[in-house]
Amino acid sequence: MPKRYYITTPIYYVNSVPHIGTALTTVASDMTARYQRMRGQDVYFVTGTDENAIKVAEAAQAAGKETQQFVDEVSAEFRRIWGGLNVQFDDFIRTTEERHVRTVQEVFSRLKDAGHIYLDKYEGWYDVSAETFLKESDLIDGKSPEGNEVRWVQEENYFFRLSAFQDRLIQHIEANLEFILPETRRNEVLSFIRQGLRDSAITRTNAGWGVQVPGDEGHVIYVWFDALINYIAAIGWPDGDWQNYWPADVEWMGKDILVRFHATLWPAMLMGLGLDLPKTLVGHGWVLMGDEKISKSKGNVVAPLELADDLAARVGCSRELAVDAVRYYMARTMPFENDYRFTYEDFDLKYNTDLVNDLSNGIHRVISMTHNFCGGKVPPGEISKSAHEEVAAALRSYESAMVKFRIDEAAGAASSVVKSLNMFIDTRKPWDLNRRGATEELGGVMRTLLWMVRVCEGVMRPITPTLSDKIASLLQLSPADRWDELLGDAVIAPGHELAAQDPIYQRLDKKKMQEETKTEAPSVDEITIEDFMKVKLRVARVLDAEPVQDSDKLLRLQLIVGDERRQVLAGIAQQYTPDAIIGRQVIVVTNLKPRKMRGFESQGMILAADGLDGEAILLLPDKDAPDGTPVH
């Protein structure tokens, strides 16, 4: 029997409900699972809740509830929110379940019998918030490195001989570069281990909550030692067919719980049990609000379902489609090496630009033109070779990204397919072919576009499953759920009839900007800062460029500026060919009064410097900025 593709999230503390930071890990895991299912893998995806912590019992007490009642309620809330985010897990494990308790006690007994656990006295600092033991040297101004309050603890505990595994851990990490991702996190782990591992206290005095140490009623097992074991408890170790699941293919988590626990304590425990280590541990970056990590303790929480509900109310779409907009945003901005600053403005911008302007409008144009030019049916014609090659390259990029668990890069590759769709529309101009009666050429163009819509459905499916279902319903086809079939031209057969429907997403309207008072231009060269601020400069991306007929200087550019498209004529044709500028970012004046040039309306002006011979030198950002970013 082939091994199942095993994916895990960390199990989450039930001292409060999920926020967009915890949702990020879970949704990334769900996207991984959905992608691997499309690749034909037999996926087993597990998440759950961590309920045996001291701070959980304290949170229950603060809420005036019995601890078991409290954890039951909060655990149910996690399930509700994951369901609302369309997370399709195969198992949800709770550390208060009998199967988990039994496995934890079995692990403890086996490690103790093997000489890896011993009884001793612990005296030192303990961070209750992070459930972490600390050395005096770890403290910063009397607090933990995370800024949490600490307590002095003196008690008899059982210790795990973590120090004995130091060399083996280093050897494994250095020999298996895919074990810890990203590379920056791998280096952090190696640095931590090389500082010297000390044996770890793995029990606490029994205060009435937690997994009891087998044969010792006076102690319960330390929450982190307990929680990590869920990954093998969920597959039935040591009984049954757990070998068909283990080792895990990927364990997803935030970077804060990687170094000490998942990349050090957990693999040492597995080594002590004689079990293989997980293939890959991914410790992604944080979502920030301002300069702070989003966290329940800091109160700067963004609730993912509330974010979706707010979007649905503002644009009038279903909650399920709004949830997909949230999922897309999390995928597109997924922090990997670095952290990411969340803002509501950025969320709105990416919704308008990527999902409305590019995807929804692009697909709507194709479906509408099929009805207007082809009677609502797929016309006969050959799939464009150049379009096929471009899409195939995007799919290879997607696949390469997912091998490295780069959800952000995979989402970027999916977005590039959507951009290719729009570029093909704009360069092949089906409306012009229809006007000229070029039926055969029109058939090939429209069939190519419909095939690209089908590919868009497939590449977006792991990220936005409801949106993909909506696209499939427009095409009146069953879901594109086989990755290896996306490049086949038979997915859109000639004669197949399409549905007619309004655009999937509607644009978010910007707030009306205050009208500026018109004043006479000053008669001197000097201007005030107020004068300068009247000029609105934005970063724009060139989607298309073509020479203007009967002009040796003008190029007609199609620009994406934030959440809108603009046409701008620029006198740069002698220095820049269309191929050299398409896809690049430029700086554009967006509040210049439109004017007609050579029969076309120019809706702005791009900035260029004068060269020594008077040639145009475009002013370009030195690195990519979000399309539409203001320039100051």
DSSP 192-208: HHHT----EE-EEE--S
| Token reading at 48 | 């759950």
Q: What is the model's pLDDT at position 612?
A: 56
Per-residue pLDDT band at 143 (split at 50, 70, 90): confident
DSSP summary character for residue 259: I
The backbone torsions φ and ψ at residue 339, rounded to the nearest 5 degrees and listed phi first, read -90, 170
Is residue 531 predicted with pLDDT exceeding 80?
A: no
Q: Quote the strand ranges of 427-514, DSSP E.
A: none
Q: Are strands 287-289 and 605-606 parallel, antiparallel or unpaired?
A: unpaired
Count the residues in the chain.
632
pLDDT reading at 524 higher than 60: no
Compare 599 and 440 and report the one with higher pLDDT. Answer: 440
Q: What residue type is assigned to position 286 of the chain?
A: W
What is the rounded distance in angstroms from the CA atom of residue 157 to the CA atom of residue 143? 23
Q: Is the peptide bond before 630 cis (omega within 30 degrees of 0)?
A: no
Average pLDDT, the chain: 90
Q: What is the structure's pLDDT at 517? A: 28
State the pLDDT at residue 516.
32
- State the pLDDT at residue 521: 34
Res 17: pLDDT: 79
Residue 299 has a pLDDT of 63
**Among 66-75, 200-209, 351-360, 615-624, which is the least confidently predicted range?**
615-624
Q: Which H or E run includes 557?
A: strand 555-561
Provide the pLDDT for residue 525.
56
Could you give the CA distance from residue 387 to residue 325 in angstroms, rounded to a whole number? 27
Cis upstream peptide for 430 (omega within 30°): no
Burial 305-319 (b: 16+ CB within 10 A, else e): bebbbebbeebebee
Greater pLDDT, 157 or 145: 157
Residue 288 CB coordination number (10 Å): 18
What is the rounded distance in angstroms from the CA atom of residue 200 to the CA atom of residue 225?
10
Query: What average pLDDT does this structure show over 319-339?
Result: 96
Domains observed in the chain: 5-293 (3.40.50.620), 342-491 (1.10.730.10), 529-631 (2.40.50.140)
Provide Rg for the chain, Cα atoms: 29
Confidence check: pLDDT of 558 > 70: yes
Beta strands, E only, 82-140: 91-94, 117-127, 132-134
pLDDT at 464 over 90: yes
Q: What is the CA 391 to chain-centroid distance, rounded?
A: 22
Q: Give me the pLDDT at residue 544, please.
A: 81
pLDDT of residue 298: 62
In 3D space, the residue among 331, 335, 365 whose CA is nearest the CA of residue 350 turns out to be: 331
Cα(607)–Cα(239) distance, rounded to whole angstroms? 69
Percent of the chain residues past pLDDT 90, beyond the cut = 70
pLDDT value of residue 297: 60
- Residue 219's nearest CA partner among 227, 228, 210 is 210
Q: Where residue 261 falls among pLDDT bands split at 50, 70, 90?
A: very high
Closest to 112 (Cα-Cα) out of 203, 196, 193: 203
C-alpha to C-alpha distance for 410 and 401, rounded to whole angstroms: 5
Is-contact 108 142, C-beta < 8 A? no
pLDDT over 90 (residue 575)? no
- Quick check: helix, strand or coil at residue 157? strand
pLDDT of residue 512: 29
**Distance between CA 34 and CA 535 in Å, rounded?**
46
Say whether 569 sits in a helix, a strand or coil: strand
Tokens of 538: 């934005």
Q: Which amino acid is at 237?
A: W
pLDDT in tens, 418-461: 999 999 999 999 999 999 999 999 999 999 999 999 999 999 99
Q: Residues with Cβ < 8 Å from 68, sequence gap 6 or more?
A: 96
**158, 119 in Cβ contact below 8 A?**
yes
pLDDT in tens, 60-79: 888 899 999 999 999 999 99
What is the spatial distance between Cα 320 and Cα 308, in angstroms, rounded to a whole number? 8
Asked if residue 627 lies in contact with residue 353, where contact means CB atoms within 8 angstroms, the answer is yes
Residue 408: which of 499, 305, 355, 330 has the closest Cα?
A: 330
CA separation for the pair 21, 256 (Å, rounded) = 12
Q: Tell me the pLDDT band of 471, cut-offs 50, 70 and 90.
A: very high
pLDDT surpasses 70 at 613:
no
- The CA distance from 59 to 68, in Å, is 12
For residue 400, give every residue at least 6 positions away whose Cβ sits within 8 Å of its Cβ, in sequence order, or none: 409
| Burial of 47 from C-beta contacts in 10 A (0-12 / 13-18 / 19+) | buried
Please, how many CA atoms are within 13 Å of residue 226, restricted to the half-sphere of its CB?
32
First to last CA, the chain: 61
